[in-house]
Structure 1
Amino acid sequence: MSLAHDLEALAVDIAQDAGELARTRRLEGVAIAATKSALADIVTLADREVEALIRARLAEARPEDGFLGEESGAERGSSEVTWVVDPIDGTVNYAYGSPQYAVSIAAVVGEPVAGRWEAISAAVYAPVSSELFRAARGGGAWLGEQRLTVNAEVSAAGGLLATGFGYDPATHAGDLARVARVMPMARDIRRGGAASLDFAYVASGRLDGYFERGLAPWDHAAGALLVTEAGGSFAFFPPPEGSDRPLTVASSPSIFERLVDAALDD
């Protein structure tokens, strides 16, 4: 078995355990631990506990690897592998009791910086639905035992697209302007609130495309591999000068160039 498949198996095992911990803590009640970039950008105690579980399990299995997590930061390892982790993607959904949240774990090689690494393994686990999306580079993307493929063609009515919005109110006008530019090619727009699942839904054909400015590395590391292994297209555009909000776009190849053109700022 290849390194990518070995790491995929490890990511799957840990993501499922972490997801069950998150689900259990949600049933017990959610406590807000802090806010981050803005008042609406929250961290729950469960985020921290779930990430600690993931980090401990990875350190036990592969102590030489690096780690980049949403809640506990980055630590370089001595191997070529870095694990990029979002313990609860969709924390606001989670806090409100919405089922749209997931554990996202990716193994990447190369420089542990978004846009410079190569993702080789991924697992995205949605605890409420018990759906497990997984991928290993060169081995395809899967939902359980079903191999995933993006939609080859998009309806004449337009693509079913998804996006998200930043927590900083100062970014909302730009985000809404982006949606306005994309709308002429859209059948409809969805805003799910968990980027890893939006990518997984593109990979599985539940969406035709997804675009968002301002995602963090752990938001797209696993999902991007799911999309590309399912035959889709993904692009990461570094933030413009004076901004910290990169643009990510993922879609069926049939609409990718049009979606990029519309989503990029003027």
Structure 2
Amino acid sequence: MTLSAESARARHLETVAIEVASTAADYVRSRSGQATPARTKSSPTDVVTHTDMECEQLIRSELLARTPGSSIVGEEFEDDSGGNNVGWIVDPIDGTVNFLYDLPVVSVSIAATIEGRTVAGAVADIHRDEVFSAARDAGARCAGEPISPTGIGDLRNALVATGFAYDAELRAAQAVVLTRLLPVCRDIRCMGSAALNLCWVGCGRLDAYFERDLKLYDYAAGILIAAEAGAGVEPPSERAGNLTMVATPGLFDSLSRVLNRAR
């Protein structure tokens, strides 16, 4: 079957995202165990390392070399406005606190947009040397092989992941949610990389993941990958209290009910 021009373009941008995320992952991996803080952002615990900034500069350079004139939204620097309809959403190190402590859950996340709509993305796992990717309406992959979520349908048997905000008041509220969820699921994990958690739901390593207060660069690539893999997804919105949630389809409604009651 011949791909439409739109689908072909999305697959091309997926390939670009894979190449650049892999290059960036190699760079971050070479700096593992050498992280040094450069500054903080929203709170004293919201740290930025020198490698975060160096990696984002590398990613921007590589993306513009492959797609001249595109726009770039990144975590560490001001937005670049380009002259065409292609955009990139970049998180140079998702899991910076893990990287600072040399813990092995760290990723690079790159999403591509056309006319503001996310159409492709890649998430590179620094330490497992894996790259998850997807193109809209073309499925999701890990190392080029199709992925799919688990078939778990009972929350009591579900392994659920979450994460915590940097704001102290919100963290306290998130702790209350855990007291409601933990008794009714298999177990809960908090591993420190939103992008990887989203991909791990997509490939069946987790049954569900939720977190409040994520930023666009945290989830743009990962939520597309999870959705294209076949998971149920809820992007953050004011209506849902800025909650991001992904789950294998059989768990989506039951998990949503528990989280809404806890909220």
Q: Partner residue of 1:172? A: 171
Q: Partner residue of 2:53? A: 48
Deviations 1:144-186 (A, max 9, x none): 1321011123357421100001112121221112222333441
Q: Secondary structure at the residue paired with 1:11?
A: helix
Give the root-mean-square deviation of aligned CA atoms: 1.8
Q: Structure 2 residue aligned with 1:258, among 246, 250, 254?
A: 254
Deviations 1:84-108 (A, max 9, x none): 1100000000010001000000112
Shift >4 Å, 4+ stretches: none
Alpha-carbon offset, residue 127 of structure 1: 1.8
2:245 equivalent to 1:249: yes
Deviations 1:197-218 (A, max 9, x none): 0001000101010000010101
**Distance 1:172-1:123 versus aligned 2 partners, 3 A rule:** same
- Name the one with the larger helix percent: 2
Q: Partner residue of 1:226? A: 225
1 CA distance for matches of 2:81 and 2:181?
Answer: 39
2 CA distance for matches of 1:216 and 1:231?
Answer: 23
Which is worse superposed, 220-229 or 253-262?
253-262
Which is worse superposed, 165-174 or 73-82?
73-82
Q: Partner residue of 1:11? A: 17
Alpha-carbon offset, residue 32 of structure 1: 0.5
Q: Partner residue of 1:191? A: 190
Aligned residue-pair number: 256
2:145 partner amino acid: Q
C-alpha contact (below 8 Å) 2:155/2:255 kept by paired residues: no
| Structure 1, unaligned runs of 5 or more | 112-117
Q: Partner residue of 1:115? A: none
1 CA distance for matches of 2:229 and 2:165?
Answer: 27
What TM-score results when the alignment is normalised by the length of structure 1? 0.91
Q: Secondary structure at the residue paired with 1:75?
A: coil
Q: Partner residue of 2:108? A: 103
Q: Secondary structure at the residue paired with 2:79?
A: strand
Alpha-carbon offset, residue 12 of structure 1: 0.5
Percent identity, please. 37
1:43 partner amino acid: V
Equivalent residues in 2 for 1:1-150 (5 A)?
2-27=8-33, 29-111=34-116, 118-150=117-149
Deviations 1:2-57 (A, max 9, x none): 01110011010110110111111224x11110011110110000000000000011
1 CA distance for matches of 2:84 and 2:178?
Answer: 41
